[in-house]
């Protein structure tokens, strides 16, 4: 085990030593942005907890009930994250064939990979709960000892959650030793997250902190005093923290010991079962199902459509290849489920906006272009921008074929364009319908989002070609790269320019509705349209031209 830990330390050290000044500055910028976001969360939690602390009779009960719910949510998220990540680290990691052939015990390899899983599945989620705990300690004036106790209890809390997730994965892979089990777990996990996210939003939790609704909480005094999942480690940790805050040392020591014992027991059971189950589960995970494709392959729908339209065969073949690769990866299915949940929550939030007048609703529908553009930019960062880099090792197969770079870029753009147009149309059209926007805003918002989608997908493909990363193990390395940052900055800047350039005709529209006779100015309308057309042309042509030039000159990293 010491040798494996030394290997990780040396690998991390070499990575730090080989980082370029650009990578140092980029990572420093990301760290500063992350700290800024954590500071914002602490400020928001501080205001919320300060408000709850001022509620008579039940303020303290509300605070500790909210703490229990936050820790229970954190525990569940870490379990789910561990379940998903352990599939990759314990059964599909690239260094596992080397480690399992080395003169190292099986349990030692499993312990090394399980600790790696525990870290990667919990560090970000645990970091997100720290602002809440800091605000809790400040509002209740608990001092530095409270934070030290929280840090001490966090380790067994995280290990217990991660161990339970890995335990489920280990048993599942033993009972169903097949690579298809991973696909089932991905889909079921995504469905669970989507259902939880949707139900949480539909429950409208904001009503609990409205000043005019707080009187209703008094009716749930018994509920507030009741345990929240009393047999879960999250409740034991909540009881320990509350006991420390009250100075009840007997309860604190009992709950802390229970939490540590549960973590030790869960991890001990995991290691004990690993000696019996891990080898078979790993062996079965390397198998794949046998293909049953017919010998005579019929013409694809893309090829038949291309023949009817008189288009080139090469784009149709590339599109067919892209479609097959996309739907073969089950991770894309799970993300489509999450996107569906996001759309439902987005539209539900739009329908709950407290808007009174028709003009205000129409104005919000216009501003909704910017919000929808932000959502589409995020989707483009996940699907469109990495499309070139995801060619990976097959990039040289594509380049050695009789295909031009222009055909490849056009096919990537078309493949992203149609689903993005569908999502954009659903967001804008349904939002306009829910808010009863007037006819002018309906037409303008739909035309604007269609124009923006075409430009943003072109930017995603073009900038993805300017910043290709063909040698990465995880798609998140592509999204978080410098190219991903450039894409998001350019995409959001373009969306902002679209809203700004159309603000003038929208202003004229509302002035005309108020009865002003000279509201419409054709010269200003032409100037606004010309500026938008020029920006769109640049957003489409420039990234694609730079991307084509970069790929034609690319000779490997």
- Residue, of 410 and 515, whose pLDDT is higher: 410
Dist. CA 224–CA 62, nearest whole Å: 7
What sign for the dihedral angle of Cα 469, 83, 159, 128?
positive
Task: Say which range, 16-20, 128-132, 269-273, has the weakest mean pLDDT.
Answer: 16-20
- Residue, of 288 and 392, whose pLDDT is higher: 392
At residue 372, the pLDDT reads 87
What sign for the dihedral angle of Cα 527, 533, 534, 535?
positive
The secondary structure of residue 102, as a DSSP letter, is: S
Dist. CA 337–CA 354, nearest whole Å: 29
Q: Is 521 a residue whose pLDDT tops 60?
A: yes
At residue 120, the pLDDT reads 82
Task: Say which range, 78-92, 117-131, 418-432, has the weakest mean pLDDT.
Answer: 78-92
Q: Is 450 a residue whose pLDDT tops 90?
A: yes
**pLDDT tens for each residue of 124-179:** 788 888 888 898 888 888 888 888 999 999 999 999 988 888 888 888 777 765 55
Dist. CA 134–CA 312, nearest whole Å: 61
Question: Once rounded to an integer, what is the mean pLDDT over residues 512-520?
Answer: 80
**pLDDT tens for each residue of 32-42:** 888 888 888 88
* Mean pLDDT rounded to a whole number for the chain: 80
Sequence-separated (6 or more) residues with CB below 8 Å from residue 214: 55, 208
Question: Once rounded to an integer, what is the mean pLDDT over residues 416-427?
Answer: 90
Q: Which of 209-218, 508-517, 522-531 has the highest mean pLDDT?
A: 522-531
Sequence-separated (6 or more) residues with CB below 8 Å from residue 440: 509
Q: Of 165, 163, 161, which is closest to residue 269 (Cα–Cα)?
A: 163
DSSP 3-46: HHHHHHHHHHHHHHHT--HHHHHHHHHHHHHHHHHHHHHHHHHH
Q: What is the CA radius of gyration of the chain?
A: 27
Q: Which of 120-129, 150-159, 277-286, 472-481 has the highest mean pLDDT?
A: 150-159
Question: Once rounded to an integer, what is the mean pLDDT over residues 468-492?
Answer: 78
Residue 357 φ/ψ, nearest 5 degrees: -100, 150
Tokens of 337: 């489920």
At residue 281, the pLDDT reads 77
CA 200 to chain centre: 17
Q: Is 449 a residue whose pLDDT tops 60?
A: yes
Dist. CA 154–CA 133, nearest whole Å: 11
Dist. CA 516–CA 302, nearest whole Å: 53
At residue 217, the pLDDT reads 47
- Residue, of 295 and 471, whose pLDDT is higher: 471
The secondary structure of residue 142, as a DSSP letter, is: -
**pLDDT tens for each residue of 308-327:** 777 667 778 777 888 887 77
Q: Of 344, 515, 414, which is closest to residue 352 (Cα–Cα)?
A: 344
Instruction: Using pLDDT thresholds of 50, 70 and 90, give the confidence band for residue 215.
Output: very low
Q: Is 291 a residue whose pLDDT tops 60?
A: no
**pLDDT tens for each residue of 233-247:** 888 888 899 899 888
At residue 451, the pLDDT reads 92
Q: Is 542 a residue whose pLDDT tops 60?
A: yes
At residue 387, the pLDDT reads 86
- Find the largest Cα–Cα distance for the chain: 87
**CA triple 269-168-124, angle to 5 deg:** 95
515 phi-psi bin (left φ>0, alpha ψ -120 to 50, beta other):
left
Question: Once rounded to an integer, what is the mean pLDDT over residues 358-373?
Answer: 85
Dist. CA 526–CA 341, nearest whole Å: 40
Q: Of 317, 321, 330, which is closest to residue 289 (Cα–Cα)?
A: 330
Q: How many of the other CB atoms lie within 10 Å of CB of 192?
A: 14
- Residue, of 13 and 463, whose pLDDT is higher: 463
Q: Is 439 a residue whose pLDDT tops 50?
A: yes
Instruction: Using pLDDT thresholds of 50, 70 and 90, give the confidence band for residue 335.
Output: low
Spatial contact of 270 and 167, defined as CB atoms under 8 Å apart = yes
Q: How many of the other CB atoms lie within 10 Å of CB of 182?
A: 21
- Residue, of 497 and 80, whose pLDDT is higher: 497
Residue whose token pair is 């700004």: 500
């Amino acid at each position: 085990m010491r040798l494996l830990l030394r290997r990780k330390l040396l690998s991390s050290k070499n990575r730090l030593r080989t980082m370029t000044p650009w990578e140092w500055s980029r990572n420093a910028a990301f760290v500063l942005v992350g700290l800024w976001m954590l500071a914002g969360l602490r400020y928001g939690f501080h205001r919320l907890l300060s408000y709850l602390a001022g509620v008579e009779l039940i303020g303290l009960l509300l605070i500790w009930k909210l703490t229990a719910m936050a820790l229970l949510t954190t525990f569940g998220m870490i379990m789910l994250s561990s379940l998903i990540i352990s599939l990759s680290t314990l059964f599909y990691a690239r260094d596992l064939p080397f480690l399992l052939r080395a003169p190292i015990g099986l349990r030692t390899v499993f312990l090394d990979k399980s600790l790696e899983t525990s870290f990667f599945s919990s560090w970000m989620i645990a970091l997100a709960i720290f602002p809440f705990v800091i605000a809790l300690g400040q509002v209740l004036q608990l001092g530095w000892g409270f934070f030290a106790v929280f840090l001490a209890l966090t380790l067994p809390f995280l290990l217990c959650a991660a161990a339970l997730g890995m335990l489920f994965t280990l048993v599942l892979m033993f009972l169903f030793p097949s690579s298809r089990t991973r696909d089932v777990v991905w889909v079921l996990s995504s469905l669970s997250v989507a259902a939880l996210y949707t139900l949480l939003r539909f429950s409208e939790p904001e009503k609990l902190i409205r000043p005019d609704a707080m009187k209703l909480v008094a009716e749930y005094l018994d509920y507030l005093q009741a345990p929240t999942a009393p047999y879960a480690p999250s409740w034991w940790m909540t009881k320990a923290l509350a006991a420390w805050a009250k100075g009840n040392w007997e309860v604190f020591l009992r709950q802390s010991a229970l939490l540590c014992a549960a973590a030790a027991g869960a991890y001990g059971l995991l290691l004990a079962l690993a000696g019996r189950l891990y080898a078979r589960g790993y062996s079965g995970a390397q198998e794949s199902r046998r293909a049953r494709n017919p010998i005579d392959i019929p013409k694809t729908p893309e090829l038949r459509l291309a023949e009817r339209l008189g288009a080139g065969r090469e784009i149709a073949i590339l599109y067919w290849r892209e479609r097959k690769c996309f739907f073969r990866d089950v991770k894309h299915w799970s993300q489509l489920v999450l996107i569906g949940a996001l759309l439902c929550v987005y539209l539900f939030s739009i329908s709950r906006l407290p808007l009174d007048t028709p003009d205000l609703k129409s104005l919000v529908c216009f501003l909704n272009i910017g919000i929808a553009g932000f959502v589409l930019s995020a989707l483009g960062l996940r699907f469109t921008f990495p499309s070139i880099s995801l060619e990976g090792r097959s990039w040289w197969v594509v380049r050695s074929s009789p295909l031009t770079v222009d055909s490849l870029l056009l096919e990537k753009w078309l493949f992203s364009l149609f689903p993005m147009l569908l999502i954009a149309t659903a967001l804008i059209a349904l939002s306009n319908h829910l808010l009863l926007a007037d006819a002018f805003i309906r037409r303008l918002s739909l035309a604007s989002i269609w124009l923006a989608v075409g430009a943003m997908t072109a930017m995603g493909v073009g900038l993805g070609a300017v910043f290709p990363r063909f040698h990465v193990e995880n798609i998140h390395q592509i999204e978080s790269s410098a190219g991903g940052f450039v894409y998001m900055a350019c995409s959001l800047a373009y969306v902002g320019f679209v809203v700004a350039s159309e603000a003038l005709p929208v202003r004229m529209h509302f002035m005309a509705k108020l009865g002003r006779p000279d509201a419409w100015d054709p010269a200003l309308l032409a100037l606004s349209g010309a500026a938008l057309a020029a920006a769109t042309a640049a957003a489409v042509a420039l990234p694609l031209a730079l991307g084509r030039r970069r790929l034609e000159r690319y000779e490997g990293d």
